[in-house]
Amino acid sequence: MSWSRLGNSKSNGGLGYRDMEVFNLALLAKQGWRLIQDPNSLLGTILRDKYYSGKTFQLAALGHNPSFAWRSILKARPTLENGLISKRDGGRTMCLENFDPVEAERISNLVPNPLLQEDRLIWRGTKHGHFSLRSAYFLEVERTRQDKGESSHHQGIQWFWKYIWSFSIPPVVKNFVWKVCNAILLIKESSRKVQKLSLEAEDSLGFIKELKDKLEEQYFGEVLITMRFIWLRRNSYVFGSSLETLGQVIQKVKGVMADLEDESQGEWSEVSMTSAPSTPRWVRPPVGMLKVNWDAALYIATKRLGVGVVVAAMTMCIPSRTDPATTEALAVWEAVRFYDSQGWQRVLFEGDAQSIVMALRKRGQC
């Protein structure tokens, strides 16, 4: 099996191994991102004065007698440019006639930026618009394949692989199924039907998919486990000259199924012992400081969102049709406006939206 296929994500039929060349480009693209976001840093100032004085990094040329570091950063510039998009004046001036009705509807539902920030470059690979190595790697993998005219080996059946990798069977059985579907195991392909299930598949992948569609989840898992033990039985005979009886194979399958059932019952009993889901306790702020708690709820049916800000109490309902992350951002924005209107000096803000909290903690992004 080729390394490029092994490098596919698990949802595309691979094992998620990293391509070191592409990953190195993603690391270098991160340096280019820093030059764009912080052009006045020490490194940015040195490189700008030497290679692109009076220009931006996007327009910089290789120059005369460039250093190895500068050559490397410029080589990764296409990787960086592949993920950059321009965020223009809060999204207020956009002609919707250039989009189809579905896209125009989605754009019209976006909430304009109340801060009216200047145009800036953001990263399209993440929700918060900040560069990440993970997103840069996968964007570059996608771009490389498009340039070569390649497609994912199992494109269009991501649902199947996501189901297999999340299925409640032992990991060794998942690996066995992966090998079978990718034709790594030396098995004889056959187009003959499995009589009792009326299955006819062209390859092993199609056979497993049809089994999944025909059988209930419990029996599907039992069949996969049985297949693996039959394969091990064959190997023990070929390489060890010992052949287990079918009764021994069945007993092993029953043992694995019993362990899975016990594990499942253990998880349910542990949950049933808890009368209510655990919630984090409210912690009072330090002496001399107020705490502002904020939260939001999105009501899709009525296309409205509820914003709650608690010092003593303050709630509001705003007509909107947006996503949960933007809803939480609006909530903290209203919390800041409320705090500012009261003239308070020392305030501690607290909310449960991790992505919003992390974005606000990033220096220079508030």
The CATH number for 314's domain is 3.30.420.10
Percent of the chain, pLDDT > 90?
A: 22
- Longest Cα–Cα distance of the chain, Å, equals 84
Residue 280 lies in a domain: no
CA distances from 230 to 12, 204, 224, 305, 342 (A): 27, 16, 10, 56, 73
Q: What is the average pLDDT across 252-280?
A: 63
User: Are 136 and 99 within one domain?
Assistant: yes
Q: What is the structure's pLDDT at 29?
A: 95
- Better-scored residue on pLDDT, 254 or 186: 254
| Domain edge (last residue) among 148, 172, 187 | 148
User: Are 122 and 168 within one domain?
Assistant: no
Residue 216 lies in a domain: yes
Q: What is the average pLDDT across 70-78?
A: 94
User: Are 201 and 260 within one domain?
Assistant: yes
Take residue 184 and report the two structure tokens written for it.
Answer: 């790594």
Residue 282 lies in a domain: no
Residue 43 lies in a domain: yes
Q: What is the structure's pLDDT at 276?
A: 39
Q: What is the average pLDDT across 188-196?
A: 50
User: Are 181 and 142 within one domain?
Assistant: no
Percent of the chain, pLDDT > 70?
A: 74
Q: Which of the given ranges, 101-110, 119-128, 262-271, 285-294, has the highest pLDDT on average? A: 119-128
| Domain edge (last residue) among 148, 167, 195 | 148
Structural domain boundaries, residue 112: 3-148
What confidence category does residue 141 fall into, taking pLDDT thresholds of 50, 70 and 90?
confident
What confidence category does residue 98 fall into, taking pLDDT thresholds of 50, 70 and 90?
low
Q: What is the structure's pLDDT at 112?
A: 60
Q: How far apart are CA 82 and CA 92, in angstroms?
A: 24
What confidence category does residue 226 fall into, taking pLDDT thresholds of 50, 70 and 90?
very high
pLDDT at 83 over 70: yes
Q: What is the structure's pLDDT at 137?
A: 92
Kind plus residue range of the DSSP H or E element containing 277: none
User: Are 131 and 7 within one domain?
Assistant: yes
Q: How far apart are CA 97 and CA 18, in angstroms?
A: 41
Contacts of 321 (CB under 8 A, 6+ apart): 109, 303
Q: How far apart are CA 236 and CA 245, in angstroms?
A: 12
Q: How far apart are CA 208 and CA 218, in angstroms?
A: 15
pLDDT at 267 over 50: no
pLDDT at 90 over 80: no
What confidence category does residue 108 fall into, taking pLDDT thresholds of 50, 70 and 90?
low
Residue 169 lies in a domain: yes
Q: What is the structure's pLDDT at 304?
A: 72
User: Are 116 and 11 within one domain?
Assistant: yes
| Domain edge (last residue) among 90, 115, 148 | 148
Domains: count for the chain: 3
CA distances from 328 to 89, 118, 133, 352 (A): 21, 22, 25, 9
Q: Minimal CA–CA distance to 320: which of 348, 292, 297?
A: 297
Q: What is the average pLDDT across 167-188?
A: 84
User: Are 165 and 230 within one domain?
Assistant: yes
Of the listed ranges 73-87, 272-286, 352-366, the least confidently predicted one is 272-286
pLDDT digits (tens, 9 = 90+) for 9-68: 888 888 888 889 999 999 999 999 999 999 999 999 999 999 998 888 989 999 888 999
Residue 144 lies in a domain: yes
User: Are 18 and 112 within one domain?
Assistant: yes
Q: Calculate the average pLDDT of the chain.
A: 77
Task: Tell the burial category of 92 from Cβ atoms under 10 Å away from its Cβ (0-12, 13-18, 19+).
Answer: exposed
User: Are 177 and 300 within one domain?
Assistant: no
pTM score, two decimals? 0.58
Q: What is the structure's pLDDT at 324?
A: 73
Contact criterion met (CB below 8 Å) for 98 and 86: no
Residue 214 lies in a domain: yes
User: Are 199 and 141 within one domain?
Assistant: no
User: Are 265 and 345 within one domain?
Assistant: no
Of the listed ranges 38-42, 117-121, 122-126, 254-258, the least confidently predicted one is 117-121
Q: What is the structure's pLDDT at 209?
A: 86
User: Are 243 and 343 within one domain?
Assistant: no
pLDDT at 347 over 60: yes
Q: What is the structure's pLDDT at 102?
A: 73
Residue 278 lies in a domain: no
